[in-house]
Amino acid sequence: MDDTSSFRLLIVEDSPSDAAMLRAELATGPLAGATLEQATTLEAALDRLALARYDAVLTDLGLPDSDGFDTFDAVVEAAGDAAVVVLTGRDDEQLADEAVVHGAQDYVVKGHRRPGDLARAVRYSVRRQQLLTELRVARDAQLAQKDNFLSHVSHELRCPLAVVHQFASLLADGIAGELNAEQRDLMTVLIGNVEQLKAMIDDLLLASRAGSGTVVIEPETVEPAPLLAETATAFGPAAAERGLTLVHDPYPLPPVVADPKRVREILINLVDNALKFTPRDGRVTVAAAAEDGFVRFVVRDTGCGIDAAALPHVFDRFYQAEQSDSISRNGLGLGLFVCRDLVRRQGGELTAASDVGTGTTMSFTLPLAPGHDMSKA
């Protein structure tokens, strides 16, 4: 065990007699050489915790300027890597027990201790808290390593993929000579798979970023109408190819506060899904309307729908629908998980409504820019 004579302890106790007893108990035994400091109010305790580092904080829960769990929460938060040991009276054992569940390492009951109990509780509390800190540091390091790895892999895979994609598409587009029907067929399969690989690699990078919150959101005042129009135009050819009608109602809309790049990504993801899950002769509608404090964006399809059991899970990480068009990109199932995160981080919410056989409506909100109320929409 660590050199306990170099321990720094903070005692948070307003009763002079209780404090004296603590000091007396700690004066003999393994913590005899420890440095003891005392605070008699919560405010003083928080000052000390902010200014110096301690191995352990022994705290009463009833202080002149705070009581019970308020004291406790404040101390635990300020304690950082210091172990918190709660000092409790016999009537407060239940409270103390709860404190341990919420972050204290131990509690000691006033006046009913054998010699050495207090010192032991403190020493073991410090040791356990140290282990927690070590775990946290190790976990953070591993997460960073994982993110770097995924980012690196994603980058490395892109280069040969870019060559495969370009050469395949050069062939498919007849740029190196006309293809016969069978060759065209084979190329379609080839390119479809390349698109899928691309989707998976894109998702690989999202997987690393989504968890670590490193996606940068740069909010600005954005006009939603051009973004919607742009998305509808971009997907026009894809919709036509699948025999689908893509409908876009260009109403004027008030500006919102959002990151236009992220909004584009979200719209692309939602429309892509809608096209993927809607059979020929179906319809995908992209629309938006001002609501109280928000603009609500809607992507509605007349596709196969999502059954009630699956609906609550569509935003789960790695959720993949079972039926999907074999030609289209599948990715790793991260799209909606990330979309929801992006929407939330811009102050909105993404929701799904669906009926099997009728279709699905994905809808998300973004906050109105200040100074623009609904009546101006």
Partner 1 sequence: MRKTVLIVEDDDELRRGLGLRLRSFGYQVAEAADGYAAVSVARQLQPDAVLLDIGLPGGDGITVLDRYSQLMQLAGIPVVVLSGRDPFATEPLLRKYGVSAFLRKPADNEELRAALAAALELPAAS
Question: Applying CB under 8 A, which residues contact partner 1?
Answer: 151, 154-156, 158-159, 161-167, 169-170, 173, 175-176, 194, 198, 202, 205, 209, 214-216
CB of 197 vs partner 1, minimal distance in Å: 9
Q: Measured from the CB atom, is 177 or 371 closer to partner 1?
A: 177
Nearer CB in complex with partner 1: 18/230: 230
Most distant pair of Cα atoms in the chain: their distance: 97
Which residue, 201 or 304, is less far from partner 1 as judged by CB?
Answer: 201
- The least distance separating partner 1 from the CB of residue 151, rounded to whole angstroms, comes to 6
The H helix count followed by the E strand count for the chain is 9, 14
20 versus 170: smaller Cβ distance to partner 1: 170
**Minimum CB distance to partner 1 smaller for 138 or for 163:** 163
- Count CB-CB contacts under 10 A for residue 218: 9
- By C-alpha distance, which of 9, 89, 96, 87 is closest to 45? 9
Tokens of 165: 């994609």
Residue 244 CB, nearest approach to partner 1 (Å): 18
The residue among 149 and 167 lying less far from partner 1, judged by its C-beta, is: 167
The rounded distance, in Å, linking the Cα atoms of 106 and 96 is: 8
CA 338, chain centre distance (Å): 9
Distances (CA, A) of 19 to 76, 95, 157, 301: 20, 20, 64, 70
Minimum distance from CB of 233 to partner 1 (Å)? 10
Helix (H, G, I), strand (E, B) or coil at 284: strand
Please report the beta strands in the chain, taking only residues with DSSP state E, as ranges in sequence order.
8-12, 35-39, 56-60, 62-63, 66-67, 83-88, 106-109, 220-222, 245-248, 256-258, 283-291, 294-301, 350-355, 359-367
Of the pair 168, 298, the CB lying nearest partner 1 is at 168
3-state secondary structure of 121: helix
Residue 105 vs 208, nearer CB to partner 1: 208
* 311 conformational bin, left if phi > 0, alpha if psi -120 to 50, beta if neither: alpha
CB of 178 to partner 1, least distance (A): 14
Write down the least CB distance from residue 159 to partner 1, Å: 5
AA letter at 14: D
Residue-wise over 188-215: b if at least 16 C-beta within 10 A, else e?
eebbeebbbbbbbbbbbbbbbbbeeeee
At residue 109, φ and ψ (nearest 5 deg) are: -90, 130
Using the minimum distance from each CB to partner 1, give the nearer residue, 50 or 159. 159
